[in-house]
Amino acid sequence: MKITLIGCGAWGMAIAAHLVKKGHAVTVWAHSEAEAVRLTTERTMPQAFPGIVLPEEIIFTNDKKTAVDGADLIVFAVASPFTRTTAESMRPFIGEGKRIVTVTKGIEEGTLLTQAEILEEVLPGNVIGALSGPTHAEEVIRGMPTTIVSASKSREMAEFVQDAFVSEMLRVYTSPDILGVELGGSLKNVIALAAGMADGLGAGDNCKAALITRGIHEISGLAVKMGAHISTLEGLSGMGDLIVTCASMHSRNRRAGILIGQGMTADEAMKEVGQVVEGVYSAKAASALAKKYEAPLPIIEEVNLVLFSGEPAGTALSNLMLRDRKMEGRFSQEDLPECWRSDSSH
């Protein structure tokens, strides 16, 4: 089939290379003519993929109409702050009746919309899906095995994307819970910033494990209140993606967190990483969602204080450790032995 990638960042290019290996005709829209020409001639992304040559079969263009004409599937792979403006610029050429899947993870700060919700709003009349899971571009482009989730309100769409992407190196599951899949993929980036800060502080493996565990507790608590299914957050696009993002040096969010933990400001850390750090853009939105849905997100709130209020990472860690004492888990009163039943136990 003919597949168009909108965006030529690391994840988009890893997807393009994967799809070409499957025999699809792949066109990539680049944000500038100069970048389209450079990629066509040089076939390299040295900062993201040192030593990797991009497949000759990938077609690069800066022309929007050329990019999307006749596409069986359009994949949005631009950084989350640019999804809306890019979709608006593509609207005259996409029209209606297209299959569109987002592979970007993030929540829009002003509207609190997920990436798929932005596309539904800006590009009405199309079928929208989302792909998310533990898929670092640096490993996918090298053909290393992993798994991912294709989610959509439409079963036909989820299975269409599954068929387009599945291979012996990329196992693709389907899910009807597109909200849960997107929330897991977006909010884990904020937790990964916290995990990186802990690493920068030298807090150790025990602390990392605690942050991952309590982080999925926060994410799933909010997601369920928003209407997502708990099993989604326990799966690949929730716990799976959270683990790899908190543990891997491929993670821009973890790397930025490490630098912040070592004393850099958020701006300094992002400049040093040299790529978009999605968790910084999702952190404020996550805090706003917590207030809207009355969901406690203590880790994410401390990350916001570090990022935007100048709180030292060490102070944030101390604040988390010294919070009011709690019982672990979510128990109904009926689940508890009688001696444990009281409002103060939660």
Name the DSSP class of 237: I
List the catalytic residue out of 2, 21, 153, 188.
Answer: 188
What is the rounded distance in angstroms from the CA atom of residue 212 to the CA atom of residue 210?
5
CA trace torsion 103, 104, 105, 108 (10° rounding): -140
Task: Decide: helix, strand or coil at residue 130.
Answer: strand
- Contact between 271 and 209 under an 8 Å Cβ cutoff? The reply is no
Q: Which residue has the tokens 């590009």?
A: 123
Q: Which residue has the tokens 């993870």?
A: 105
Task: Decide: helix, strand or coil at residue 81.
Answer: helix
Is residue 64 among the annotated active site residues?
A: no
Number of neighbouring beta carbons within 10 Å of residue 30: 22
| 116: nearest Cα among 82, 107, 253 | 107
Which H/E stretch holds residue 116?
A: helix 115-122
**Which residues are known catalytic residues?**
188
